[in-house]
A and B are shown apart, each in its own frame.
Chain A
Amino acid sequence: MTIDERGLLQLWLPHQPEPVASYPAGVGSVGGLACTVVEQRPVAVLSSGGRVGLVDLLTGLPADDTTTDFTQDALHVAVSPPNTSTRSIIAVQDLSTEGRVNILDLNPAPTGDGPTAGSDGRSGSKAPVYLDADIVTVAGRQVIAVIGDDATLRLHDVSDGRQSGPPLTAPP
């Protein structure tokens, strides 16, 4: 699945030189693109500006739309795998835009703050800027592992964005 700068969403088979479907997504300046299954229908998840939109890949029609609380563009999106019980979008800004992350349910309203630099809540300490992240299963739960510029790792539950456990200190 690809999307170009004109907002044309195209579906491809790995060994076929021509797209199998082309849909105008009606957006420009797409930052991130991912795909998943919602209610047994394949959808594309794309970010444009501070919004995240869903496009039904069977019809090419907009399926849903939700917003981040970012003041600048959401540059990347990732989604939970289709076979998980909790289906979330992870929308990410990069270092130049504070390195923040929103976790959004695949319903319109945001459900969690996610691992958000600047909202650490510890009085008197500067919250870390998150530099990289990966998804991993810990004790049967999917979590986002993030590393900050303070050399700590934090784990956030994919389903609600809550931090699980204290920050982990990477070995020196």
Chain B
Amino acid sequence: MRTPYGVRLRCLTLGNRPVGISATPGPFAALYLDDGSHLPPPDQGPQRAALAGLACDASGPTKIVVLSDQWGSMIAWDLQTMRMLGHRPSKKPGSNACLAVTALEGRTTILSASRKGKLRRWETNLTAHAAPIAAHNGPITAINTLDIDGRPTAVTVGADGLTGSWTCTLACAADQSCAILPWSTRY
């Protein structure tokens, strides 16, 4: 069956083996790229609309896959157990259109970017997010993460023509709730 819309592919290394993760409007699927064998299917989770974003990461303590749909709903799975970590329903189209995952100070962290220019940090269970950062005037079209001088940094690109780099330092309170310190450069 041909699946012409909303297909994404990301690759990572899990336990020294290369893994391909593909997502369509259905749940994601994962297979080992060295022998073609399949990883177990994930928990089904709730019904989703057309796929918007896919991100995955196995470098942090939680090996994670997170998807978003065109309504902004997000679902996260543990890639090792294939259990659903969290579900965040939304009815705001494009509210989490772009996704990235990174490890911040030992915590696996989800970053989402919206078509209204907001950048949000989420816990892996998607139950709470820090106060959003107004990153761009208009839609954020892409987000990625990298280390700059050893500091985790999120890079965003917006339809306003700007590129932003955001230092991902956590400010953690006694209750372990954390926020990104929005130190940034836009150019």
* Residues of A near any B CB (own CB < 8 A): 2, 12, 14-17, 19, 95, 129, 131-139, 143, 145-147, 149-151, 153, 155, 165, 168-172
Give chain A nearest CB distance to B143 CB in angstroms. Answer: 16
CB-CB under 8 A from A129, the residues of chain B are 4
Alpha-carbon distance A143/B1, docked complex (angstroms): 26
CB–CB A145/B3 < 8 A: no
Given A129-B4, A149-B7, A153-B9, are A137 and B18 neighbors across the interface (CB < 8 Å)?
Answer: yes
Mark each residue of chain B from 1 to 44: 1 if its CB lies under 8 Å from any CB of chain A, else 0.
Answer: 11110011111110000101010100001110110101101000
Give which listed residue, A15, A133, A149, contacts B3 with CB less than 8 A: A149
Chain A residues with CB under 8 A of B29: 170-172
B residues bordering A, Cβ < 8 Å? 1-4, 7-13, 18, 20, 22, 24, 29-31, 33-34, 36, 38-39, 41, 148, 153, 163, 165, 185, 187
**Known A14-B153, A132-B7, A147-B9; further 9 A-B contacts with Cβ < 8 A:** A16-B185, A131-B3, A134-B9, A134-B20, A147-B7, A147-B20, A170-B20, A171-B29, A171-B30
What is the chain A residue whose CB lies nearest that of B185?
A: A15
Evaluate contact between B31 and A2: CB separation under 8 angstroms.
Answer: no
In the complex, chain B residues whose CB is within 8 Å of the CB of A155:
33
Shortest CB-to-CB span from A139 to chain B, Å, is 6
A95 partner residues in chain B, CB cutoff 8 A: 4
> Per a CB cutoff under 8 Å, which of A14, A136, A168, A172 touches B185?
A14
- Shortest 3 CB-CB contacts between residues of A and residues of B: A136-B11, A171-B29, A147-B9
